Amino acid sequence: MPTDTSQKVAIVTGGSRGIGRAVVERLARKGVDVTFTFVANEGAAQEVTTDLCANGFIVRALRVDARDAAACKTMVESVIAEHGRIDLLINNAAVIADKLLAMMAQQDWDKVVNTSLNGLFGTTQPTARQMMRQRAGRIVNLTSVSGIVGVAGQTNYSAAKAGIIGFTRSLAKELAPLGICVNAVAPGFVDTEMLAGFSPEQRKAALASVPTHRFARADEIANLVGYLALEAPAYLTGQTLVIDGGLTA
């Protein structure tokens, strides 16, 4: 893809906080026109847009529930209708509802799996169709090391994140002949709100399991996502890049 990103159009799902926000900020500061979604925290979404737009970057926020594939599809189609193209799609929206399977409620399963996979389908199908017409584009899906190694208490999250990896591999093969790259990023522990529920003992145990003895920063994950979206060789596709401080080495 060209290195000039001034005319590129991107969608980032779940962009108001954590990794998603860091991705929005990185792409916007590279001159990309960014639309991001949020579902609940309007204040956080407004903060992102206000901060970036005040500095001359082009960013807008749309309230879209990632569990609603039809709403995600409509959102993508609206962006395409406005801009006539879409160059980058970052599928990041996710939630956690950790419990041992024996104690997991159906709603805990549905919320986690549907957020990760319904939104993935809803955003990616219309995006892929547009990119096929363009014969260009890049898709980056956020998964997790939980989808690779499995984590007790996260059968729902691990299943959803493993599904994203399989989706990435299959779609990459479908779109590669048209010059479209599809990759995934699998973070380990990242110091965002998702770790806020950890007790001091859990944080200590988690840190001890990471060879670097620290959690990742959201901007470190965003840097890798930005590389795949804007700079990586076009020959790199269908891969899941793990960034976990050596946790799964």
Give the separation between CA 151 and CA 156, rounded to whole angstroms.
10
Non-local (6+) Cβ contacts of 222 within 8 A are 19, 22, 23, 25, 26
The DSSP call for residue 103 is G
Tokens of 245: 């401080």
Contact, 225 vs 172, CB < 8 A? no
- Of 71, 162, 79, 57, which is closest to residue 119 (Cα–Cα)? 71
* 235 given a catalytic annotation: no
Task: List the Cα angle 234/240/243 in 5-degree steps.
Answer: 110
Tell me the three state secondary structure of residue 36.
strand
Tell me the three state secondary structure of residue 86.
coil
Q: Which of 36, 38, 109, 157 is catalytic?
A: 157
Tell me the three state secondary structure of residue 211.
coil
Give Dmax over CA atoms of the chain in angstroms: 52
Tokens of 237: 């596709």
Q: Give the position of tokens 């269908």.
A: 238
Catalytic residues: 157
